[in-house]
Every structure is written in structure tokens, then in C-alpha cells.
Chains A and B, each alone.
Chain A
Amino acid sequence: MALLEIDDITKHYGTHQVLSGLSLSVNEHEVVCLIGPSGCGKSSLLRCINRLEETSSGEIRVHGERITGEGVDLDRLRRDIGIVFQAYNLFPHMTVLRNTILAPMTLLGQSCAEATDRAMALLERVGLAHKAHDYPDRLSGGQQQRVAIVRALMMNPMLLLLDEITSALDPELVAEVLDLVRDLAAGGMTMILATHEMGFAREVSDRVCFLYQGQVHEEGTPAEIFGAPRQEKTRAFLRDLVKAGRL
């Protein structure tokens, strides 16, 4: 059974329809990339999956269990589905270490030592162990973003949503994050990434979904989508990217 099933969801902001009958299913250990023009609803879809936004209709299931509608323990759900945002949202009044251990300590009941060990190991892996006791405003954007990923990983999510995590990074840092994401994929982490970095999408994903007019317009392996897109809209989108020198 798929880990995540999105079944014909719609989403309105007032009268503006962002998602219109979108369906998608993601298997365990799969890495899915969402691509599409700016404003096509990638962020909205991700925010609907962990219920930061409400869907207007349709159903989302995790392990076959409905998570849309009423009677869902949202705090519980969000512990299992991590999200890292476009803009890094580290808590400015806590050190890097504290940012990463707060949630596992208060929500998962881990001891301070246990959480700290884990956090330091992860920070080491992203090359930021030496910043553990600094406040976020002393870190570069790229460093903050890596801490944000560590913070999400500390909750051992079964699904990780990454919303344009590389768009704020310097080119050399993109590579580091790419490594980290590849590591996570190799470790079996299920992930959905929204991204404008097509090289990144092509390299890291098992499947690429092109979003257009609030639907998954075309999906396939990176080779299929980037090599031989079937839909005219997908081709146009990719053509524009090539023109802009981004592919």
C-alpha cells in the first residue's frame, strides 16, 4: 500500500482555485519531485499534506488512514510528517542545538542527553557541529537551512516535505544539501520536494510530477519527464527553463 495517497483534492483561497482535483500517491522510500511554474500550487500542496492548510474537498490518506477532515490529531500527524520551508524558520531566541532538541524532548519524551547526542551527530553530518551553540542570526542562510532540515529529521518523520530548500543557498552549499538529501534517500527516507532546481530534481528523485492548473499534469521518471515529455505544457515549461539557462 502507498504511504501517501492524495485523492482528488481541491483547494481555494477565497475564489482563487489553487488545486483542482489533484491526485498523487507516494510509496514508501520514494523520492518525488514537484515541478511547475511559480504559483502553480507546489507549496500549497505540501502545506495541505501536513494540514497547515485545509483542503476544500477530496481526501488525503497516510498508510490508508484518512488525515483530511475532522477528528484527526493534527499534532500527532505533524510529528510524523516533517516539513522544511522555503524561508528558514529557525526560532531566533534559541541556539542551534536548542532549536533541534526542543521538539524531540517535549514531544517524544527524549532525555536532553539522548536528544543532544542525536542532534550533534546530525549537525556533524551537515557540517555544522561547531555552530551548535550559536544563535540563528549568526548563521548564513545556507547554514540556517541545513539546521532546519536537521530539526525536522530529529522527529524521525516517516515523510519529509521539502519546499524549495535550495532556493536560498549559495551554489556550493546546494551541493552539500544535495548530498544530505541523497543520503536521506539512500537511507530510505520518503520525501516530496518542491523545487525550481531541475538538475537537483533530475538527480535525486525517483519520480517527477509536473503541476499545472492545480493538477498533476504529467508524471514519470526523471528520464521520461526531462528526456521525453509527452505533454505540450510540460515541453513548454522545460523549453522556457532551457531558454532561461536553468536546465
Chain B
Amino acid sequence: MALTMTETVRVPRPVHIHRLRSALSVLVALATSGLIAFSILRIVAYAYRQGNGLEIAVVAALFALLSAYVVLLGARAVALSARAGRAVEIHHARELGAQASLRSWNALAWSCALLIATGLAWLLVLNDAAVSRTFFDLALIRNSSGEILSAFTTNIVIFAVSVVLILVWALVIAIARTLPGDAGRPLRLMATAYCDLFRGLPSVITIYLIGFGLPLTNLPLVSALSSSTYAIIALTLTYGAYTSEIYRAGIEGVHHSLIAAARSLGFSHAMTLRHVVIPIALRNIVPPLMNDCISLQKDTALVSVIGTIDAFNQSKIIAANNFNLSAVTTVAILFVAITIPQARLVDRLTQRAQRRRRAGGA
């Protein structure tokens, strides 16, 4: 490499000063700012007439600041590019050119993001603010949030109970599906049939069948439970099938030589599962289990089909009374808010598992 460099040093090579790119970036930035200025004037004026000018003004100020920043970035790119063109020393020129390019890309990316955000803002206020009124009536969101939060505890209870039941039940199914030998076959087949059935059945149908079906059976015990309990049973059955597949993948992923090592010490099949296979499998399947958890949380909203007063159902009642969906927005925000930290946690755990696997493979 070094040799080729010295050989070619006499050939004059062009220095990229990215004049075009910088010019483009500043033009786009200026156009974006103009559009934003126009939008701010129109939207703030409109909001002022509607009486909630203050909140909008704050957002508008933020937009204005950002667009000014973008124009600055573009201007800086042009300036750097110009200096690169004047620079005497070739390495210095290259450095300035690279900086100009970086600034240009930044300016372009920010312009793009701001344009999208402005488009969304227009969507909210178009047609006499039909979208904001329908989905984001702040007063209604504020007023309904108390009731909805208390109904949300129903979702949380359903989730918390189900998740424990699912983790245990799925493990039972997974072990049944991995039973060895001829003697294991009947249970293995039943467990497989169960998984096939409940993985194919949409959870909303399972909830519906169990929530409305079991009370009709007049069976002792199971016909007079609360609708939350039916929801828990249905969710456990559905998610048990999914989660057992995750467990099974984990169990089958444990290297057979580890199992041979345990068996050769004299551990029985069950003891090997308990002391070696399951602990190792569990460590590997935490990320997919967490993903499962997140979708279970969301699916607690399905219980509204059997009349459980959860947050979603409560919000639908409020929405119907007010001819406005903002209360449902509150629920949506709640679900998203509790999911985001978990999603980040899954990302972290997945990364850690990958690092560990790479370290193990090295």
C-alpha cells in the first residue's frame, strides 16, 4: 500500500471540495426554512383563533430554531467548500472538502426530517383541524386519562397473571414435546397437537370462544368466572403454544455434548433437563421471550371483545359518549409508553447475547 502511494504521488489528483453538494444543501435548507416559516404563520394564526395558541407557539419556535440550524449547516458547508477551493496545501484542502461534505449531508438529512415533520403538522390542521380534533383533543385526553389509567390496571393484572402462567405452562408443553423414547410418544403427540391448534387459532377467536363459551357450559367451577379470568385462560392457552416453541428451540439448541457430559455423570433425563439443559436454554431465549411479553401486553386489549372493562373498552365508552376518539389515543399512548423501554431492553439483551456468542466462538 505504502509503496503505491509513493509511486503515485507525482500524479496530480483532484481534490474534492464538494461545491455542488454544499450549494445544494444550502438551497434545500433555505427552501425548507421558507416552507416552515409559511407553515408557522398559517398554523399559529389558525391555532390562535382556536384559542390554544400557546402550545402551538412553543412547537413553532422549536421548528423555527431547527430550520435556522439547518440553514447554518448548509452555509457552513458552502464556506468550507470555498476555503477548500482556496487552500494551497493539498491535504488541508482534502480535509476541508471532507468537512464540507459531512456538513452538506447533515443539512440535507435534517431538511428532509423537518419537511416530513411539517407535512405531519399540516395533516393535523388541514380541514379545520379535523385530524387533531378527532384524535388529539387535549382536553379530552386530559379529562379521560384518570378513568383510563384505572381501567388500564385491568390490562396490567391480566398481563401479570398470564405471563407467569404462560412461562410455567409453556415449559410443561416444551418438556412434553421433547420427551425421549417410545414411552414419551403419546404425550409428545398430544403436546404437538395442542401447539398446532393454538398457534393456528387467532387469539381473538380463542378469547371469544372461551369468554362466551365456558359460561354457557354450566360446568361447575369454570362457568362462573370473571371475564378477566376467561381472558387470562385464553391468553395462557394461546401464548402457551407460542412460548413453548421458543422454549423448545432453546432446549434443542443446547449442545448434545453437554447432555452427554451430564448423562455420563449419572444424571437422569429429568435431572439433566433441570440442572443443565433448561438453565442454559433459558439464558439463550430471554430476548425472544421478552418479545413475546411485549405482544402479550398488546393483546390484553383483545379482552374487550368479551366485555371486560379494560383500558381499551373504557376508552371506547368515553369515545362513544363524546363522538371523539381522543380517549382511545390515551390508551394508545399508554401501550406505546410501556412498550418502548422493554423494546430497548430486548435490543440490549440481544446485543449482549450476540457478543457472548462471538466471544464463545472465538
Contact = CB atoms under 8 A, between A and B. Distances in A.
B264 A106 contact: no
Given A91-B276, A93-B280, A75 B261 contact: no
Given A75-B268, A137-B359, A106 B263 contact: no
B266 A76 contact: yes
Interface stretch (A56-64, A78-86, A116-124, A209-217): A78-86
Count class of interface residues, chain B: 10 to 19
Contact of A106 (B260, B271, B283): B271
Contacts, number: 56
A17 to B, nearest CB: 22
B263 A78 contact: yes
B186 interface: no
Nearest to A86: B257
Interface in A139-178: 148, 151-152, 155
A108 B262 CA distance: 15
Contact of A137 (B262, B271, B275, B360): B360
Contacts of A85: 257, 260-261
B280 A78 contact: no
Nearest to B275: A102
B69 interface: no
Interface in B260-318: 260-268, 271, 275-276, 279-280, 283
A107 interface: yes
B139 to A, nearest CB: 55
A89 B260 contact: yes
Among A83, A89, A151, chain B packs the most CB atoms within 10 A around the CB of A89
A52 to B, nearest CB: 6
B280 to A, nearest CB: 5
Given A106-B275, A137-B360, A75 B266 contact: yes
A83 to B, nearest CB: 5
A87 interface: yes
A79 B265 contact: yes
B258 interface: yes
Interface in B228-261: 257-258, 260-261
Contacts of B279: 93
B283 A50 contact: no
Contacts of A107: 265-267
A103 B280 CA distance: 17
A126 to B, nearest CB: 18
Interface in A188-203: none
A127 interface: no
Contacts of A83: 264
A69 interface: no
A92 to B, nearest CB: 7
A85 B258 CA distance: 11
Contacts of B266: 75-79, 103, 107, 155
Contact of A87 (B257, B262, B267, B275): B257
Contacts of A106: 267, 271, 275
Of residues A76, A79, A92, A148, which shows the largest number of chain B Cβ atoms within 10 Å of its Cβ?
A92
Interface in A39-75: 50, 52, 75
Nearest to A99: B261
A15 B268 CA distance: 30
A75 B283 contact: no
Given A91-B258, A137-B359, A103 B267 contact: yes
A93 B283 contact: yes
A62 B292 CA distance: 51
A155 B263 CA distance: 13
Interface in B318-334: none
A106 B266 CA distance: 10
Contacts of A137: 359-360
A176 B300 CA distance: 61
Given A87-B257, A92-B280, A82 B267 contact: no
A91 B263 CA distance: 12
Nearest to A108: B266
A183 to B, nearest CB: 21
A78 B264 contact: yes
A137 to B, nearest CB: 6
Given A92-B280, A93-B283, A78 B265 contact: yes
Nearest to B274: A106
A77 B267 CA distance: 11
Contact of B265 (A87, A92, A93, A103): A103
A89 B261 contact: yes
Nearest to B256: A89
Nearest to B257: A89
Contacts of B359: 137
B265 A151 contact: yes
Nearest to B255: A89
B267 A75 contact: yes
24 contacts: A52-B260, A75-B266, A75-B267, A76-B266, A79-B265, A82-B265, A83-B264, A87-B257, A90-B261, A91-B258, A91-B275, A91-B276, A91-B280, A92-B258, A92-B360, A93-B279, A102-B275, A103-B266, A103-B267, A106-B267, A107-B265, A107-B267, A152-B265, A155-B266
> Top 9 A-B pairs ranked by shortest CB distance?
A89-B261, A79-B266, A103-B265, A78-B266, A83-B264, A89-B257, A75-B266, A93-B279, A75-B268
Given A85-B260, A91-B261, A106-B275, 20 more contacts: A52-B264, A75-B268, A77-B266, A78-B266, A82-B264, A89-B257, A89-B258, A89-B260, A90-B261, A91-B258, A92-B258, A92-B280, A92-B360, A93-B283, A103-B267, A106-B267, A107-B267, A137-B359, A137-B360, A155-B265
